[in-house]
Structure formats: structure tokens, C-alpha cells
Amino acid sequence: MHPLPPGRRVGRWEVTGPIAAGGWASVYAGRSVEDGAEVALKILPTAGLTPRQAAKVAETARREVEFARRNRHPRLVRLLDSVQLGAQGDAFLDGAIVLVMERAERSLRDLLEAGGVTESEGGALIAGICEGLVHLHAAGWVHGDLKPDNVLLAADGSVLLADFGLATELTGTGGTHGHAPPMGTFDYLPPERWRAPLGERGVTVRPSGDVWALGIVVHEVFARGASPFPGATPAARAAAVQEYAQRRAPLRMADGVPPFWRALAADCLAPTHAERAAHTAQSLLARIRAHRGGAGPGRRRHAPAALAAAAVLASGAAVAGTVAAGWTHAGGSAPAAGRVRVYNADPDCQARSGRDPRCSLGLAIDPREPYLAGNVVATRVWHGDVLDAECEEPHGVPIVDEMGTQSPRWFRVRLSGGPAAPTAWLPAVRTLDRPELPACSSPSSAG
């Protein structure tokens, strides 16, 4: 793929060096020419591709942007910007799509290739990956391409899931499955994907596919990057997967995989979707935490009732300065009875003193409807805002925090001062406060 030299301008970003290259994209280190902020630039060129290939690249980028617009979590890499380049005197860049992301220090693949990890270190990494999957699945998404290359490590050691070009929203009855293009990485596809029929909407994908990939990653973490399925090529390893799935060969793991992780990986690698579905990301995370004595994955740790499943849901109306009159920015003391302080688990947002639009949080119109963009009021809130709470709804749509704890509890809060002020709904997982409030008589909508 055509290399870009350091100093090359890509929109309002400047290339500082290469990071990685794949079949469809290259990733470069970069920085903003405006404020020097360091970023990663994922460049997807379209020049020279057939119309069908260019459409596939554009669809991958569209999926990643749509996913980032609707999901934010400390275990997901943040998409900061996306641009499509015009002619810049370089045919290679003409029409290229650039995704600008937060910069990580290295990938899990880099770490495994550099040497082994201790059981404690490996457990912390896997817990972080599982936290990301818990959030994704609870929010109604499947990653679709989980592998060490797409698990990034921040400078502080935090785990960040990345590359959501194949992320798929669950749209089946009850949110059990979705449909995606027939793409993925051979070594991490579950057995059923090799036989899945291709329909008008693509192939069927389920959260259990991510669980299968997690099982492969668990083995790789403790086996210095080796797959549990033998073979010199991806095709040979895929054949070994089918032998195992058809119960003609046992599951063989490397001797170096510790007993607990061996058993966990075996459950993740159950041969069929039906068997695997019993082992959800949430149940796996609970097992991991119990094994590790309740320890989190380290770094970026937060207090236990932290982040809602969809932290930033609406975009156009989310501008700084829209907090209504009557709300105050919290200091260090606890709010008075009948008031709740907003909690944003993202440490970057906690550290910001201003009302950065990227750190705003949404309030729902109806706590009994899916917590999506169409069910969010225009007014936004930020970490530390103190809201007047009138009552609580204990049986709304369950929202999952970053620790995997679900809560169907919501608080009805006033948007401005006075008893006749309009109201909206704050998920209980977005505050650490638990005031004694009466049950709401009519939870159907905001006032």
C-alpha cells in the first residue's frame, strides 16, 4: 500500500509515522495541525478499486462511524473525526476515507509478539476485553472482528477494543441476532459462520460469535499467541475448527494455559451456538472477577455504579451550555436529599472542567422505551451536575454499567426550577447517589 511520509497533511491532520497496514487500510500516527493533539489516522483508500470494492470500503467506514456515534465507553477506542479527502495532488489519496481515533500505545498482538505475560497480567487484559464485550452486547451490538490486533493498550495499560468496521447491531426478535457482510478474520470465526447461508442482508451474527473469538484470544494470551487449533495456515486451522465442531477431534490447548483460563476458554469454545449461548460476556466477566478476587482490569478504574450502556446517544443537540437553569455544578459534598449528582465513568471527562460536548450525557424521554437517540431529550448533562429528582421508576428498561451490573431503576428529574418544570429520566447507573424517593405514578414520558 502506498506509504505516506512523515509531515504529509491529511485534511487538518499531519502524519508523523506508520503504525500498521492491512489489506484495506493503513494506520498512521498523526497529530492535529491546530493544537498538536496526538491521534491515530486510519486511512481507507478507494482510488484504483473497482466500484464494488470501493462500496465495501465505504460501507466499512460507515459502520464504524455509525457505531462510534452511538457508543461510548472506557473500554472502546474513541472515534474523534471522519473525513473524505478530495484530490490533493496524490491519486492514492483522492477519495480516501480517514477515520481519526484516539491514540493507543500498542496492540495486544504487539504485546504477545514481544513475549509472554504473567497470569495476573493476562487476567487483567482478558477482564478488560470482557468489560468491553459486556457493554457492546448490552447495548445491542456484536463486535464481529475480535482479535489481538483489535485490542489496543493505552499508555496507562488500559484495554481498548477497536476496529468496529464489522460491528453489527442486533435487530432480530428480542435482539438476538443481526446481519453483516460475509467478512471477518478466519482464525476467529465461530464454526457456524462457515456454514451460514448468505441472504439479502448478509450472514447472521450473534454475540456468541464474539464469545468464540474471546476463547481464541484467551488461549493466545497464555500460549504466546498460538491458536488452540493446529495448522500452518488460516485455512488449515479453519479445517481443524470444523473437525472439532463436528466432534471428530477434541479441543487441545497448550500446556501453559492455567487451569482456570483453560476451563473458561473451553466454555467460550463450545462447538455450537446453542451451547455457547449459555456463557455470556456478562457471566464470563463475573467468573473472571470472582477468580481474581474482585480485581478490575487495572488503570481507568471507576466506582462501581458507573456508566450507562449508551453514554452519548444524540448528537446534533449536544452542545455545551445547554444545562437548564436551576441545576448546579457539583462540588465535593454530597447532594441534598431528593437530588442526584451525575456520574460519567470516563476519566477523561471527569478531568475536564468545561462542558465538552463529547462528554455530555443524555436524559431519556421514556424509561420504558429503548434508550436510543430518538428517546433522548435535547438538554444534556455533564459529570458533576446536580439534578432535582422527584421520584423513581424501578421497572424501566435495564441499563448496564461498565462493571456489568444491570439496573432497571430510573430517576425522574426536573429540567429547570419549579414544580411545573418539564422533566426527563436519568438512569440510576449514571449516578452514585441512591436517594429515598417515592415511586413515580406515571413513568410514561418526560413532562
Whole-number Å distance between alpha carbons of 277 and 208: 6
pLDDT tens-digit series, residues 7-66: 888 888 899 998 877 666 788 999 999 888 899 998 887 766 667 777 777 877 887 888
The pLDDT score that the predictor gives to residue 314 is 27
Least confident of 156-160, 238-242, 309-313, 397-401: 309-313
Distance (Å, rounded) from C-alpha 429 to C-alpha 269?
Answer: 32
Q: What angle separates helix 281-291 from helix 259-268, to the nearest 10 degrees?
A: 180
Residue 333 has pLDDT above 90, yes or no: no
Looking at residue 346, what is its pLDDT? 66
How many CA within 13 A on the CB side of residue 375?
15
Q: 67: which residues sit within 8 A by CB, 6+ positions away?
A: 141, 164, 167
Spatial contact of 55 and 46, defined as CB atoms under 8 Å apart: no
Question: pLDDT tens-digit profile of 419-444?
Answer: 667 899 999 888 888 888 999 876 44
pLDDT at site 266:
97
Judged against a pLDDT cut of 70, whether residue 305 lies above it is answered with no
Given its phi and psi angles, is residue 281 left (phi above 0), alpha (psi -120 to 50 degrees) or beta?
A: alpha
Nearest 5°: the CA angle 399, 361, 367 is: 40
Say yes or no to pLDDT of 330 above 60.
Answer: no
Q: Are 340 and 413 in contact (CB under 8 A)?
A: yes
Neighbour-count burial of 109, counting CB atoms closer than 10 A to its CB (0-12 exposed, 13-18 middle, 19+ buried): middle
pLDDT band at 134 (very low <50, low <70, confident <90, very high): very high
pLDDT digits (tens, 9 = 90+) for 150-201: 999 988 889 999 988 888 888 865 668 887 777 788 899 999 987 766 666 6
**Residue 326, pLDDT score:** 28
Tens-place pLDDT, residues 66-88: 888 777 888 999 888 888 877 66
Distance CA(389)–CA(144), nearest Å, equals: 40
Q: Is 411 exposed, middle or buried (0-12, 13-18, 19+ CB in 10 A)?
A: buried
Q: How far apart are CA 19 and CA 42, in angstroms?
A: 10
CA distance 208 to 177: 10
For residues 332 and 265, the model is more confident at: 265
Q: What's the pLDDT at 170? A: 86
Average pLDDT over residues 289-295: 80
Q: How confident is the model at residue 213 (pLDDT cuts 50, 70, 90)?
A: very high
Q: State whether residue 118 is helix, strand or coil.
A: coil
How many angstroms separate the CA atoms of 167 and 205, rounded?
10
pLDDT of residue 179: 78
Residue 26 is predicted with a pLDDT of 83
Find cell 481515533 and name the residue: 101
293 or 91, which is more confident: 293
Eight-class DSSP state of 157: S
Q: Is the pLDDT of residue 312 over 60?
A: no
Among 30-39, 301-310, 343-352, name the one with the lowest average pLDDT.
301-310
The whole-angstrom separation of Cα 252 and Cα 367 is 47
- Kindly report the number of other CB atoms within 10 A of residue 62's CB atom: 13
Alpha carbons 3 and 119: distance in angstroms, whole number: 38
Answer whether residue 339 shows pLDDT above 60. yes
The stretch 385-396 carries a mean pLDDT of: 90
DSSP 3-state of 231: coil
**Does the structure show a pLDDT above 80 at 264?**
yes
- Greater confidence (294 vs 363) lies with 363
At 233, which amino acid appears? T
β-strand 385-393 against 79-84: which pairing, if any? unpaired
pLDDT exceeds cutoff 80 at 241: yes
* Position 318 confidence tier, pLDDT thresholds 50, 70, 90: very low
Distance CA 166, CA 150 (A): 12
Q: What is the pLDDT of residue 136?
A: 92
CB 404 within 8 A of CB 134: yes
The model carries a pTM of 0.62
pLDDT above 50 (res 316): no
The three cell numbers locating residue 408? 432497571
Residue 310: pLDDT band (50, 70, 90) is very low
**What average pLDDT score do residues 393-400 get?**
81
Closest CA to 129 of 221, 50, 54: 221
**Residue 406's pLDDT band (cuts 50, 70, 90):** low
Predicted confidence at residue 199, as pLDDT, reads 66
Q: Catalogue all structural domains in the chain, each as residue range(s) with its CATH number.
A: 9-102 (3.30.200.20), 106-291 (1.10.510.10), 328-430 (no CATH)
